[in-house]
Amino acid sequence: MGATPMSKEFDQRVTDFFAHYQDRGMKKWAGFFLSDHTAMINKETRQKSVPDRAEMSREECGKVLGEAFGNQRSVAVQLKEVDENGDRPEEIVDFVQGYAEDKVVIGEHVIALDDLRCVLLLSD
C-alpha cells in the first residue's frame, strides 16, 4: 500500500516540527514543585512577622505585671507558643486586669504565668 498525499504532508509537518523544536528544559517543570518543597522555600525566604524577644523568668514577668497593674499601665506580652512554621502569635497588648492563682488576666485574655515568654511595660 502506498502513502497518500495527505499522509506525506502529515509526515513532512511532523519532521519539520521536530527539526525546529526547541525544548524549554527545566522551565517546563517549574510548576511541578511539591507543596512541601514550596512550603520549605517560603519558610526560608519569608521574614518572621513577630520577632523573638528575650525570654524572661517567671519572676521577672511577675514584677513587670505587678508594676503595670499597680500603675494602670499597658503591657505587651509574648507567649512561648509557636505554630507549625515556628512563628509566634501576635503579641497581646492591653492592661493587666488582675490575677487568678497561676494566671494573669490581660484585657480579655486569661494566660497561665508559665506560658509567658516576655512582658514589656509600655509607656502610655
For the chain, domains (ranges, CATH) are 58-121 (2.30.30.100)
Cα-based distances in Å from 33 to 29, 41, 47: 8, 11, 22
Q: What is the per-residue pLDDT across 12-50, written as a single tens digit (0 to 9) for each?
A: 888 888 788 776 665 555 556 566 666 766 666 555 566
- Residue 38, CA atoms < 13 Å, CB-side half-sphere: 6
Q: What is the per-residue pLDDT across 1-16, written as a single tens digit (0 to 9) for each?
A: 556 777 788 888 888 8
pTM assigned to the model? 0.60
Query: How many residues does the structure list for the chain?
Result: 124
State how far the Cα of 112 lies from the Cα of 44, in Å rounded to an integer: 32
The set of cell numbers assigned to 42 is: 517560603
